[in-house]
Copies of this chain bind each other. A is one copy, B any other.
Amino acid sequence: MTADPLDPAGNSQLPAIAPVIMSGGAGTRLWPLSTEDSPKQFHPLTSDRTMIQETALRARAGGGLDFAAPIVICNRLHVREVRAQLSAVGIEPSLIVAEPFGRNTAVVAAIAARLVAERAPSRLVLLQPADHLIADAAGFVAAVARGASAHGRIVTFGIEPTEPHEGYGYIQRAEMIGGGVYGVVRFVEKPTRTVAQAYLSDGGYYWNGGIFLFAPDVMRREFDRYRPDVGDAAEAALADARLVDGVLELADESFARAPSVSLDVAVMERTRLAAVVPCDMGWADIGSWTELWRLGAHDESRNRLFGDVVALETVNSLVWSDGPAVGVIGLDDVVVVAAHGAVLVASKSHAQAVRGIAERLAARGRT
């Protein structure tokens, strides 16, 4: 047997992939750019393309893997935006699932498993958040290919930690199963800094990339076993949904009955089928402006400037404008963001507290 030069790893022998993009997040950690009306995934944070565009583009034909057109699950307020942004990069979702409100990731995974099981049961579901940075798309596809070889497993992707990050979940790996895929000892939600530091020293711990790869029937069975309430809620939501013009609209009442729980808590922390693919693909969940400053290319003053910005005698700072002229002078370690008609100025060490600002302004009747 001769190796295909376009597919030296022989990935075309692997199951085909059904990408499912979770675009339900409405975080305020990047306020005022990210708001409920216009969350993070719809903005070009790390390239000329928006996060959801990057997410859709990286799970396309490549490396011999067979990727179907994506299913996107998003808030119903964002259906038009999703379609417009994906269309702008030449991607037509096979389906958009419109949530009336957010219900965390477990029910999303259960819905995704059911939809793919009905439509193309031999495909693996690749469940991905719309708003994560993955700088190395080829590294990502290679990791997915390794995961696709782990038959019958629910595969997670583990990123080698470079610092004791308190904002991420961690995965402790067990023995290798084969082909660069490991078993899992346990999942840990955001640890303290001390604990995260110990993980870093001990080794064998990875950041939980929040991306999952699984056969739809495997996931359905694990829901039946551990959280049948979530599985039943997904079933009921799909039964009541209306398909209108390529959009599957979930009904308020039945979707409201789904417990708001994460896939990690509902299934991953309990299943014996968990696996982890360690990978190095330039992954980050950009959870603060300080993190966005850190991730990108800096100018000679270690600044990152976006938009109509003039910076004088300023170092180690991020200045972002979606329109207004912004002038800064004499700053060090500061984040300045003018977006959606509001302004944030934060010392970098306080930038993770931006949620408090957004909440106080909301309490005054602003968004």
Contacts and interface: CB of A to CB of B under 8 A. Distances in A.
Interface of A: 31-32, 308, 310, 312-313, 319, 321, 324-331, 334, 336, 338, 341-347, 349-351, 353-354, 356-358, 360-361, 364, 366
Q: Which 5 A-B pairs have the closest CB atoms?
A: A330-B350, A327-B357, A330-B347, A329-B346, A329-B350
Contacts of A329: 344-347, 350-351, 353-354, 356-357
Nearest to A338: B343
A361 to B, nearest CB: 5
Contacts of A31: 327
Given A312-B356, A361-B310, A366-B325, A336 B330 contact: no
A24 to B, nearest CB: 25
Contacts of A341: 324-325
A331 B347 contact: yes
Nearest to A357: B327
A288 B100 CA distance: 50
Given A353-B330, A354-B329, A356-B329, A324 B310 contact: no
Given A32-B325, A327-B31, A361-B325, A345 B356 contact: no
Q: Quick one: copies of this chain in the complex?
A: 2
A109 to B, nearest CB: 35
B327 A334 contact: no
Nearest to A347: B330
B325 A345 contact: no
A331 B334 CA distance: 9
Given A353-B312, A357-B312, A342 B330 contact: no
Nearest to A31: B327
Given A327-B343, A330-B353, A336-B343, 17 more contacts: A310-B357, A310-B364, A312-B356, A312-B357, A313-B353, A324-B338, A326-B343, A326-B344, A327-B346, A327-B354, A328-B344, A328-B346, A329-B356, A330-B350, A331-B346, A334-B345, A338-B343
10 contacts: A310-B364, A325-B361, A326-B344, A327-B357, A327-B360, A327-B361, A329-B350, A330-B350, A331-B345, A336-B345
